[in-house]
Structure 1
Amino acid sequence: MKQRKIPMRKDIVTGEMVPKKELVRVVRTTEGTVELDPTNRANGRGAYISLDVEIAKKAKAKKTFDRVFETKLEDSFYDDLIAYVDHQQARKELFGDAK
């Protein structure tokens, strides 16, 4: 049986290529708002970050998404991102690869 190709995306904090399932997408919508995109289908410019709390904290410290999306973001966005990544990381450890 032929193996399926695994889609890879670049983590904007570390610069590593990672399987898409191990990342969360953050999108700047056409209205100019920046938000998490758990469905990976929202319209707009997307950027990916690993499901790792330490990497999310690095993104907050370096204001990575401010630079990538060329906008000023509130600290509450980064706090929400860290909470979401923490939740998804715990869920992955609890249930394995099933989403």
Structure 2
Amino acid sequence: MNKLLTLTIASEMFLLLSFMSIYLTTRKTKKSILLIPLLIIGGAPLLYLAIDDMNSHYMDANIGLGLAFMFTWIYSAIAFVIAIILIVKRKRNNNNSKEQ
């Protein structure tokens, strides 16, 4: 399998994992539907540029593809940190309600 394809799949799976953990820790309300456009915003640039790079073989370095990877990784890391904060906050609320 192509190295670019492997990195793209891994990056998109990390992004999906981050957003799934946010979705599972929040209450299932209508506000949770806002996670779908945020997921698309995070993953679409990388998918577009990876497909473009596979279809047309450029002779020079594809700076846009590197920036798309960097954007997706930073976006995924921020989403993952938010998910961890929500998980810790939820556990603290559950522990406080059990103590009272």
Bigger-Rg structure (1/2)? 2
Greater RCO between the two (CA within 8 Å, min separation 6)?
2
TM-score where L is the length of structure 2: 0.31
Structure having the higher strand fraction is 1
